[in-house]
Amino acid sequence: MQPQLKKTRNIGFIAHIDAGKTTVTERVLYYTHKTYKIGEIDDGTTVMDFMDEERKRGITITSAATTVFWDDHRFNIIDTPGHVDFTIEVERSLRVLDGAVIIFCGRGGVEPQSETVWRQADRYKVPRLAFVNKMDRAGASFSHCVNMIRSRLRAVPIPIQIPIGREDHFEGVIDLVTMKALYNTDEDGSTVTVGEIPEACREEAQVYHDQMIEMLAEFDEKLFEKYVDSSPVTEIDIHSALRMVTLTNKAVPVLCGAALRNKGVQPLLDAIVNYLPAPSDKPPIEGHDPKSAERILRKPNIQEPFCGLVFKVMTDKDSRLVFLRIYSGKIEKGDMVYNSTAGKSERLARIFQMHANKRERLDIAYAGEIVAVTGLKYAMTGDTLCPEDKPIVLERIQYPEPVISLAIEPKRKVDEDKLIDCLNKLAQDDPTLTFKIDPDTGQKVISGMGELHLEVIANRLRDDFNTDINTGRPQVVYRETITSPVKHSAEFDRVISDKRQFAGISIELRPLERKSGFVFEDKIRKPDVPKQVRDWLESSLVESAQCGVLSGYPLVDVRVSVLDVIFDQNDISEIALKAVANQALSDAQRKAASKLLEPIMNVEITVPDKYTGGVIGDMTARGGQIQEVNLLDDDLAGSSALDVLKTITAFAPLSALFGYSTALRSLTEGRGTFSMEFSHFGDKL
């Protein structure tokens, strides 16, 4: 049956690690009767964390989708990881979601990854609710968490609930819209009892209620008029204003609870219905024609041509699932769809509604739905699917650059091809995982977002793909150069197989500026030297420059000029010419005082202002050279050091940056991020 767009909510649960996101999701599944037993992380019985690695570590690693029903509304939910190493899962989920619930720990408040996911939601303009979880924990403070949302995230939080009691005495929540107390009275929390606000909480509740009305009046003209005239404000007025400020991202309603103690989850579900957008509330999706680049819009209804975005690919030993957000039109199993990004047509074999790792077959899927399909061999994350006669290309998903690398090799030589095949499959699933074979060292190197990320990849290779591997630190590839100009002459005169092989050469080596590479120059003035001889000398010198005299690394930032050559005009010897060129270059390098150059990376670090000094000191100790320190947003000059972000640009040797992601998180309490790219081979800093 076709779902009603107005009663559909495509939402995600996102948070810092250990804020209780998966615990909230498991209660949502239970209270919506999707499951009949509450899954617990500590017991390894959660539905949404279904991978062995997730249950073993007690954290979410990959996003999981499910569909539940509440109050006659359909929720398509994506549960995302909280660890920074798996931020791509949040990135691609937010790209296709209409709304989000951001969960904060009542004690920790706005933690480092909270900031990251908040900025991601800002980038995609995703309306959101805030849920302050763990109100039963020692040190939990609702007001402190609300203040941190305001100061650190520069948002406008509007509490629509406050807790009844705190820490061990947390009993329930006060709904500031209805001014009623809500309690979960039975052990599993399935029954919500509505009562009067306790006497001890009435004054505080009234203060919060008045503040809520006052804040909403700033954004809602109708409410403002009633506020100024001191007219009665109804629940409908408040609901309408809250929905408006949420959908327009002007403010964020804040709720609270304690999911582990089964308190406060049902009111959160009601808030999702009341305040987060349906697909029909969102503007038409925008794309462009793949040929003309003309702007195209697709409205969220089934009368429009089909348009969908691939936001996730999941590959295992047996199948390849492609996760798809349908923005317009509909698809049926067996349909031919056109991948406008790759320029290929493929047939949809099956369509599934996902419940974590379980699949429910569908014959048809409509606009506004999130489904998984099989049969698509070429579809990758970020690709657009559409009819071939109505092509459109949607904006692609942006991926963060990998920041850490690991050398990897199979324990058995016979598993070489299998390892490469498995890595290619994993890289299709995870765009932040890259894999290459280093042309200089021959090492297989994987790169990712952090040490945990690569550790999980290594474990998946062993456990999921049955590939035994060894891992280690990647080799740093150096280069060689010279420090002074030199001229050198050499001769080659030998008898090989009863035949004399003779040639002589004069060359000049000169050091060049960094990033110049290896430059060959023909300065032979003799007009009778054949072109073939000149070509042999050039190819031999270029080839010889690939192996320097110090440690066998390539020779760079050097100009080699051939000044003269002598040979037997009657019997030109290719062997002798190439041998003498190789010999002359090696000898000249030794005379010119060769030295090693190391790879220098261009590093850009983003940190809150209060950590700038420590990060600069650490980078300098690593041999880095600071280039610039700038405000990320000039408009924030003079703001609190907690708010202001600064970017530090530096040159640093690659050899000093292994493990830097972990060090930076330690220096900045997890709030710093960085990216790096190769700049040049240079002198040791």
* Three-state secondary-structure class, residue 469: strand
Q: For 16-106, where are the E strands, in sequence order? A: 64-70, 73-79, 99-105
436 is in an annotated binding site: no
Sorted by sequence, the CB contacts under 8 Å of residue 508 that are 6+ apart come out as 485, 486, 487, 488, 523, 560, 561, 563
Closest among 493, 488, 489, 490 to 573, alpha carbons compared? 493
Neighbour count for residue 245 (Cβ, 10 Å): 22
Sorted by sequence, the CB contacts under 8 Å of residue 292 that are 6+ apart come out as none
Structure tokens at 307: 């348009």
413 is in an annotated binding site: no
**DSSP 8-state class, residue 197:** P
In Å, what is the CA distance from 372 to each residue of 328, 360, 361, 399?
16, 10, 10, 21
656 is in an annotated binding site: no
DSSP H stretches of helix in 502-647: 531-544, 574-591, 612-621
Angle between helices 574-591 and 531-544 (to 10 degrees): 40
82 is in an annotated binding site: yes
In whole angstroms, give the CA distance from residue 504 to residue 490: 6
19 is in an annotated binding site: yes
Strands 558-567 and 518-522: parallel
630 is in an annotated binding site: no
51 is in an annotated binding site: no
Strands 8-15 and 99-105: parallel
79 is in an annotated binding site: yes
Structure tokens at 446: 């994987």
Exposure string of 458-480, with b = 16+ CB inside 10 Å and e = fewer, is bebbeebbebebeeeebeebbbb
What is the distance of C-alpha 266 from the center of its chain?
31
CA atoms within 13 A on the CB side of 87: 23
670 is in an annotated binding site: no
80 is in an annotated binding site: yes
Exposure string of 288-309, with b = 16+ CB inside 10 Å and e = fewer, is bebeeeeebebbbbbebebbbb
21 is in an annotated binding site: yes
Closest among 656, 659, 676, 670 to 611, alpha carbons compared? 670
Structure tokens at 492: 């080659």
Strands 594-608 and 479-482: antiparallel
499 is in an annotated binding site: no
CA atoms within 13 A on the CB side of 221: 0
186 is in an annotated binding site: no
Closest among 111, 100, 104, 108 to 63, alpha carbons compared? 100
Contact 290, 340 (CB under 8 A): yes
- Gyration radius of the chain over CA positions: 32
* Three-state secondary-structure class, residue 393: strand
185 is in an annotated binding site: no
333 is in an annotated binding site: no
Contact 308, 325 (CB under 8 A): yes
241 is in an annotated binding site: no
Contact 316, 393 (CB under 8 A): no
Annotated binding site for GTP: 15-22, 79-83, 133-136
Annotated binding site: 15-22, 79-83, 133-136
